[in-house]
Amino acid sequence: MFRIILAALLLAFPAQGEETIVADLSQNNVSITATFDGTGILIFGAVKRFQPAPDNGPMQVVIAVAGPSHPVTVRRKEKRFGIWVNIDAVEVDEAPSFYAIASSAPLDQVLSATEDLRYKISVDHLIRSVGAPSTVSDPTHFPEALIRVRQNNGLYTQKGGQVDLMDETLFRTQIKLPSNLVEGDYKTRIFLTRNQLVVDEFVTTLAVRKVGLERWIYNLAHQRPLIYGILSLTIAILAGWLASAIFRVLRLN
């Protein structure tokens, strides 16, 4: 079935160069529900060519999936007089909420540093601080700390050798999406490289949306914050009263 789908894709898209990527996702939409605990997305494709494959190095593939980007303020805490306080803060202008890289070999073996900087593939080139206060002596440590925290939370991953290549033509990999996804469009970029240079790039989008009760609560909180606050307070009061009533019944028995 996998090969049949790829054959159909190859026929559907005309070639634009010597080697052109034709790819797709196992699903283009992810629904976040109350029971959502993560999922996996199969990314597969093929290389379309009308002549024998070039001999300037083996074919390699890099796949990067990025969630919505937002500015993030990173703070550094320090313990003073027995209390942890914020002493410095640096704003990172753009940081993806989720970022996963999978490649057919370790990234530094399939992509040169110049190409990495040009296409902003590795997470280090995606996240940077701009206009850090002059009082901060080491502003580069703040983006590094943000990357480290999100790696520990499973939001940033980089795995070499995770893209399967077949006959220098077919490729596929699976990207795991955690349960703590942010709603939005997830940009998926696929790079074909030879001799550590990018030969072709394919871009598509994965839509992640809240549905059902999660969507209703999200819309209520953002569109009717007063009603959302009153409803939350009412539910908290009722829950407290119900717990107290159950406790009194148990004590009487």
Sequence-separated contacts (24+) of 239-248 with Cβ below 8 Å: none
Mean pLDDT of 157-180: 92
Task: Return mean pLDDT, the chain.
Answer: 83
Residue 51 within a domain:
yes
Residues 173 and 219 in one domain: no
Residues 187 and 124 in one domain: yes
Residues 253 and 196 in one domain: no
Q: Of 48-57, 78-87, 120-129, 189-198, where does the model show the most confidence?
A: 189-198
Is pLDDT at 222 greater than 70 in this prediction? no
Determine the structural domain holding residue 229 and report its residue range.
Answer: 212-253
Is pLDDT at 143 greater than 90 in this prediction? no
pLDDT at 253: 64
pLDDT at 215: 61
Per-residue pLDDT tens digits for 177-212: 998 888 899 999 999 999 999 999 999 999 998 776
pLDDT at 162: 92
Residues 40 and 146 in one domain: yes
Residues 131 and 217 in one domain: no
Domain count, the chain: 2
pLDDT at 201: 95
Residue 91 within a domain:
no
Task: Quickly state the pLDDT bin for 120 (edges 50, 70, 90).
Answer: very high
pLDDT at 13: 47
Residues 200 and 236 in one domain: no
Q: Which of 188, 155, 159, 170 is nearest to 27 (CA)?
A: 188
Residue 86 within a domain:
no
Residues 34 and 142 in one domain: yes
Cα–Cα distance between 187 and 43 in angstroms, integer?
Answer: 13
Cα–Cα distance between 140 and 16 in angstroms, integer?
Answer: 40
Residues 220 and 199 in one domain: no
pLDDT at 10: 47
Asked if 159 and 109 touch (Cβ cutoff 8 Å), the reply is no
Is 25 or 239 the better-scoring residue by pLDDT?
25
CATH classification at residue 166: 2.60.40.3880
User: What pTM value is reported for the model?
Assistant: 0.76
Is pLDDT at 1 greater than 60 in this prediction? no
